[in-house]
Amino acid sequence: MTGVLINGIGNFAGRFPRERCYTSVEKTQRGSSVIVMTSDFVPATPYHVSHIGIGIGQRHHLILNAEPENTLDFPADQDGNY
């Protein structure tokens, strides 16, 4: 793969990192939503879902909208500083 195209917009860094980035999401909180951008590199109109089933070998571009885990212990000041 030499580039990524999502909804007509793409970029290429010119090289690939040695290690891949993995993100795991634990089932801890309800109310999060997922926006599906592509399925197996086929662009789609972004749509919102509450869950997604991913099979072996499938690739998806997703946006996870999650609430912060701790919002009351460290509130931000009006200027955005803690």
- E strand or H helix at 48, and its extent? strand 42-49
pLDDT confidence band for 51 (50 / 70 / 90): confident
Note if the pTM is more than 0.85.
no
pLDDT for position 35: 87
* Nearest-5° Cα angle at 47, 34 to 5: 90
Note the residue count of the chain: 82
User: For residues 82 and 79, what is the distance between their CA atoms, to the nearest angstrom?
Assistant: 9
Rounded mean pLDDT of 14-31?
62
Record the tokens describing residue 58, joined without a space. 């499938």
Average pLDDT, the chain: 70
pLDDT confidence band for 33 (50 / 70 / 90): confident
Counting beta carbons within 10 angstroms of the beta carbon of residue 27, is it exposed (0 to 12), middle (13 to 18) or buried (19 or more)? Answer: exposed
